[in-house]
């Protein structure tokens, strides 16, 4: 259902806004509106402009969350003075800055060592002292890498012809790392050749002892020591902060609340009293009627703060429609997902959640009736919802319950129709004889009859919505109003009488039953204007009105027929489910009396997954197109309370 709302206006001395917000408004869920745009009739309003003094300290405090959990300590309940909070932060900041300076130096050193280790890493397989290589006087050398395809070309066509030795160290990512050695007299030529092969040099500093592998181990040891040192510094800082954990946790909660309270100024307006020259704040918004009465009583003791609570339909301060806040029992709440997908109901609309929950589950069960598969859906959906809180899983679980029910009605369990007796019928074989039609599957007949009932019910809901909205055309003359309801109900009655072999009403009665409602629907525009006492009955010319009305009536009659016929799919899927399971059992060899259990299990999984998905989508289509389109607009805006952190 939709929670009843009231429009709330709170005004008081400018300096009291924080106290009023914290002491009163923070206890309730209120959707605050921008007072400047909402209170258009109030003169001389101006915005409430000021800088939030709590945001910067709050952001500073968040820096310390990486060192400790500031939400778990509730040992301090009373509020801290703002000056005390600032001093507490200054103390923590000094300790943090000292640690941060040391960490920055360690980070720079760590980055330098890491870069050096990355340079030496590709040459770790070279089993020769680096310093000895760097001290060569008559042999030139170069550390570096070259593309793999160039290396292969070099080895195949050039290596044996040149005065050079290339020591391959590593191959990775399309490159070959290594060192080439050549006599000093051949160095210029070798450098030119390797340059043409896209050889990239790597500078190795003259500061390592031992082989590259030993140098790399030394660097990694230093890197590990720096990381440990940094970790010790952070642990020492975290330990020092723990002595202030209670105060910092309370400060975080308090600053969050104060900062959030302060931001309410963005939605407030300021007005000045003519005689006292004092500034007063004005806050306005939407609150549940039950909470509004409680808040009004609480604020009676405030001599300078005034609280006005008004009914949204009679309020002179606002012309906007109240936001929609849905409140349904737990078993229905998952179905709100389908409502939100289509659009929230407006405040003056019916909440269709209960309607959707019942019709969706019932139709799904009728289209997918099987005791075994229904229980699997019910139990699996329940477990998923219990552990993962998935709304769709809860919907599947409810639909599975109805599938189980219809499974008993159809006498089907995991596709077997000879284990339990059908309480109603077997969808694929039960036939009904109808006049002028002959034999027709019973589930088709029942599906169309049920569809007619749902269409009539949707029209009733449309009439109720129109009454709530005081929409004359929607109540009396709309396709789904009283005129449309009478026409369609008459059509249903005549079809029922004809199919059951009973006598039909006289021709004059039929003409009245069908003609007058259709005439009212056709003339809905001028009739509505006449009832509402408008000066102009028809918009545009009469000729255009006649042409437009003709095509509209054709569309109306076509929609009645197509919407009704659309419910045939309920019976069609009930039959197709039975047929698909019959195919599965035939493939499993059930006729021989000893079916292949693996085929039965896999077939059930396939049918349950594929057909369950298709049926779920088809039922949702029936909800949206055949029912919602008749009575539901979904034009509401969601109730979003201005939450104050506690």
Strand pairing report for 269-272 and 175-183: unpaired
Neighbouring CB atoms inside 10 A of 576's CB total 19
444 and 584 part of one domain: yes
Question: Mean pLDDT, 10 residues at a time, over the chain (646 residues)?
Answer: 91 88 88 85 79 84 78 65 85 83 89 89 88 87 91 86 89 91 90 90 82 89 91 81 80 82 85 77 92 90 89 73 91 93 92 95 95 95 92 94 95 90 89 83 93 95 92 90 92 88 79 87 84 74 80 88 92 92 89 85 93 93 93 91 63
Pick the closest to residue 47 from 260, 267, 272 (CA basis): 267
Tell me, yes or no, whether 9 lies in a domain.
Answer: no
* 3-class SS letters over 606-636: HHHHHHHHHHHHHHHHHHHHHHHHHHCCCCC
Spatial contact of 448 and 560, defined as CB atoms under 8 Å apart: no
pLDDT for res 77 = 61
Strand pairing report for 175-183 and 5-13: unpaired
Q: Domain span at residue 196?
A: 128-210
pLDDT for res 547 = 84
Last-in-domain residue among 193, 210, 227: 210
* Main-chain dihedrals φ then ψ at residue 479, nearest 5 degrees: -55, -35
Identify the sign of the CA torsion 287, 292, 296, 297. Answer: negative
Pick the closest to residue 447 from 566, 337, 552 (CA basis): 566
204 and 337 part of one domain: no
The residue assigned the tokens 């197509």 is 562
Identify the sign of the CA torsion 233, 236, 239, 241. Answer: negative
Tell me, yes or no, whether 14 lies in a domain.
Answer: no
The residue assigned the tokens 């004809």 is 498
Tell me, yes or no, whether 57 lies in a domain.
Answer: no
Q: How far is CA 386 from the centre of its chain?
A: 19
Interior angle at CA 472, CA 471 and CA 473, nearest 5: 95
Last-in-domain residue among 189, 210, 231: 210
* CA–CA distance, 312 with 623 (Å, rounded to integer): 31
Tell me, yes or no, whether 476 lies in a domain.
Answer: yes
Q: Tell me, what CATH number does 204's domain have?
A: 3.30.70.2750
List the strands of the sheet with 139-147, edge to edge. Answer: 165-172, 175-183, 139-147, 200-201
Tell me, yes or no, whether 405 lies in a domain.
Answer: yes
The enclosing H or E element of 271 equals strand 269-272
Tell me, yes or no, whether 553 lies in a domain.
Answer: yes
Last-in-domain residue among 210, 239, 255: 210
* CA–CA distance, 216 with 166 (Å, rounded to integer): 22
Radius of gyration, CA atoms only, the chain: 40
pLDDT for res 50 = 78
pTM of this prediction?
A: 0.73
Spatial contact of 324 and 2, defined as CB atoms under 8 Å apart: yes
Q: Name residue 2's beta-bridge partners.
A: 326
- The count of structural domains within the chain is 2
Tell me, yes or no, whether 457 lies in a domain.
Answer: yes
Tell me, yes or no, whether 8 lies in a domain.
Answer: no
The residue assigned the tokens 């069908």 is 514
Spatial contact of 600 and 395, defined as CB atoms under 8 Å apart: no
pLDDT for res 333 = 93
Spatial contact of 302 and 25, defined as CB atoms under 8 Å apart: no
Neighbouring CB atoms inside 10 A of 508's CB total 9
Q: What are the E-state strand segments in 443-583?
A: none
């Amino acid at each position: 259902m939709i929670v009843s709302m009231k429009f709330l206006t709170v005004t008081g001395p400018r300096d009291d806004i924080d106290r009023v917000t914290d002491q009163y408004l923070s206890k309730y869920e209120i959707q605050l509106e921008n007072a400047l745009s909402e209170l258009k009739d109030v003169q001389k309003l101006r915005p409430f402009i000021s800088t939030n003094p709590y945001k910067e300290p709050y952001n500073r405090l968040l820096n310390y969350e990486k060192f400790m959990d500031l939400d778990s300590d509730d040992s301090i309940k009373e509020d801290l003075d703002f000056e005390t909070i600032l001093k507490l932060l200054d103390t923590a900041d000094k300790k943090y800055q000292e640690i941060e300076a040391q960490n920055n130096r360690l980070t720079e050193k760590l980055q330098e060592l890491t870069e050096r280790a990355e340079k030496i890493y590709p040459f770790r397989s070279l089993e020769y002292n680096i310093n000895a290589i760097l001290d060569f006087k008559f042999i030139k050398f170069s550390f570096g890498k070259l593309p793999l395809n160039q290396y292969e070309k070099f080895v195949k066509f050039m290596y044996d012809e040149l005065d050079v030795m290339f020591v391959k160290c590593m191959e990775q990512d399309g490159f070959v790392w290594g060192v080439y050695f050549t006599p000093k007299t051949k160095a210029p030529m070798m450098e030119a050749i390797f340059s043409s092969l896209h050889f990239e040099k790597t500078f190795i500093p003259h500061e390592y002892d031992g082989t590259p592998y030993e140098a790399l181990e030394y660097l990694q040891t230093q890197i590990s020591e720096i990381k440990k040192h940094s970790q010790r510094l952070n642990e020492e800082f975290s330990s020092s902060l723990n002595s202030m954990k209670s105060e910092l946790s309370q400060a975080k909660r308090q600053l969050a609340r104060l900062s959030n309270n302060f931001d309410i100024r963005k939605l407030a307006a300021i007005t000045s009293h003519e005689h006292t020259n004092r500034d007063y704040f004005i806050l306005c918004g939407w609150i549940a009627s039950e909470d509004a009465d409680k808040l009004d009583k609480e604020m009676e003791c405030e001599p300078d703060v005034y609280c006005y609570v008004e009914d949204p339909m009679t309020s002179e301060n606002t012309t906007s429609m109240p936001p929609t806040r849905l409140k349904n029992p737990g078993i229905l709440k998952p179905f709100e997902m389908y409502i939100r997908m289509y659009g929230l109901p407006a405040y003056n609309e019916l909440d269709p959640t209960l309607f959707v929950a019942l019709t969706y589950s019932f139709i799904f069960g009728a289209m997918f009736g099987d005791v075994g598969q229904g229980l699997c859906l019910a139990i699996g959906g329940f477990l998923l919802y219990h552990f993962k809180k998935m709304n769709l899983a809860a919907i599947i679980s409810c639909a599975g319950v109805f599938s189980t029910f219809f499974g008993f009605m159809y006498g089907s369990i995991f596709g077997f129709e000879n284990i339990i007796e059908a309480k109603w019928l077997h969808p694929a074989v039960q036939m009904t004889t109808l006049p002028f039609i002959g034999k027709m599957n019973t589930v088709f007949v029942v599906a169309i009859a049920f569809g007619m009932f749902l269409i009539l019910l949707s029209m009733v809901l449309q009439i109720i919505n129109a009454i709530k909205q005081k929409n004359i055309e929607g109540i009396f003359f709309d396709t789904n109003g009283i005129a449309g309801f009478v026409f369609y109900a008459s059509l249903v009655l005549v079809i029922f009488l004809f199919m059951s072999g009973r006598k039909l009403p006289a021709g004059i009665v039929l003409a009245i039953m069908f003609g007058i409602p259709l005439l009212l629907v056709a003339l809905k525009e001028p009739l509505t204007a006449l009832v509402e006492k408008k000066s102009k009955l028809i918009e545009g010319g009469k000729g255009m009105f006649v042409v437009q009305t003709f095509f509209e009536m054709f569309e109306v009659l076509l929609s009645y027929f197509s919407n009704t016929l659309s419910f045939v799919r309920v019976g069609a899927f009930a039959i197709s489910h039975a047929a698909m399971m019959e195919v599965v059992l035939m493939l499993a060899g059930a006729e021989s009396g000893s079916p292949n259990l693996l085929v039965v299990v896999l077939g059930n999984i396939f049918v349950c997954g594929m057909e369950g998905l298709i049926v779920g989508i088809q039922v949702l289509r029936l909800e949206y197109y055949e029912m919602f389109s008749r009575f539901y607009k979904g034009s509401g805006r969601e109730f979003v309370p201005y939450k104050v952190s506690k």
